[in-house]
Structure 1
Amino acid sequence: MRLGRQAGLFAIGGAIGLLVDAGTVQALVAWAHWNPYVARVLSFLLAATATWAWNRHRTFADRASGRSPLTEWLHWLGLMGVGALVNYALYVVLLLSFPSLYRWPALAAAAGSAAAALVNFSTARGVLFRRPKRVV
């Protein structure tokens, strides 16, 4: 699959992840009255799982990690950790800089997700799904 098509599919997966992430954090803060920092940890894990599933079956369908699904998911979470640090750092900076975002943490989550997207695509393609699948 061409790089441009992979990037487009990765962006769709990112949009799915953003909906899961922002929707979860917003619901936990607004309706369940969770702390927005704690809520973001759970929302990120759910979003990362959704993006892994999408990218494994769509974006990198023609590439292999050589791992079992559980090991691949754990590796995905580890690799996405770098992007998660960028993502969460920007989220915290925005919340601290703009207290009005406490009522709308989904906006800060979206900004963090956008900043981390390039890091995540590079590590997913270049590290985890770097080998083409073998045709048997």
Structure 2
Amino acid sequence: MPARTAEALIARLGPHRRDGLLQFLRFGVVGTVGFLVDSAVLYAGLAMGLGLYSGRAVSYVAAASTTWALNRAWTFRNAPRAPLARQWAVFLLVNLVGFACNYGTYAALVAFVPFVAAHPVIGVAAGAIAGLAGNFFLSRRFVFQAAAA
């Protein structure tokens, strides 16, 4: 897409929608980092003897903690600074909806698609995509409230 066309589209969105779109894109970049952490911790857990399901539970908490910290520092940097432990706990709590989509997709693929069971990173990726939108809107609304304005 030529730069002028992209600029024209962004201008037509208006400042509020543009800011929301940019915030969603930053959330997606952070989610990509979370995917890398999730995958690395899962494979490390598998190498240490954890199973496909318990390893994924551990990797999800590591990834969620990473994405919370990066979203706090970058995506929602203008949000009020709630106490760290409280905000992290609220982030994990509200993202349980995204976790259910994420882990449910992963577990179904691992259970029913032998190729995914042999290559669980595919299930991790599918799960991350399944939980992305819900996690963004819940995080924006309940964890980083001022950023939604």
TM-score, normalization by structure 2: 0.82
2:60 matches 1:44: yes
Amino acid paired to 1:115: A
Alignment correspondent of 1:105: 120
Q: Is the 8 A contact 1:26 1:104 kept in 2?
A: no
CA distance in 1, matches of 2:33, 2:115: 26
After TM superposition, which residue ranges in structure 1, 4 or more long, deviate above 3 angstroms? none
Q: Is the 8 A contact 2:101 2:130 kept in 1?
A: yes
> Any conservation in 1 of the 2:109–2:117 contact (CA below 8 Å)?
no
The one-letter code of the counterpart of 2:38 is D
Indicate conservation of the 8 Å contact 1:23/1:106, yes or no. Answer: no
- Residue 93 of structure 2 corresponds to 78
> Paired residues, what number?
130
- Which structure features the higher share of helix residues? 2
CA displacement 1:22-63 (0-9 Å, x = unmatched): 12112322x223210000010000000000000001000012
- For 1:23, give the aligned amino acid: A
Matching residue's letter, 2:89: L
* Structure 2 equivalent of residue 28 of structure 1: 45
| Shift in Å, 1:8 | 1.1
Distance verdict in 2 for CA 1:11–1:118, change over 3 Å:
same
* Greater length-normalized contact order (CA 8 Å, ≥ 6 residues apart): 1
Distance 2:87 2:115 in 1: 38
1:11 alignment counterpart: 28
Larger Rg: 2
Contact 2:101 2:131 in 1 (8 A): yes
Structure 2: distance between partners of 1:69 and 1:54: 13
Counterpart of 1:67 in 2: which secondary structure?
Answer: coil
Report matched runs for 1:64-75 at 5 Å.
Answer: 64=80, 67-75=82-90
5+ long unaligned stretches in structure 1 = none
**Runs (5+) with no aligned partner, structure 2:** 1-15
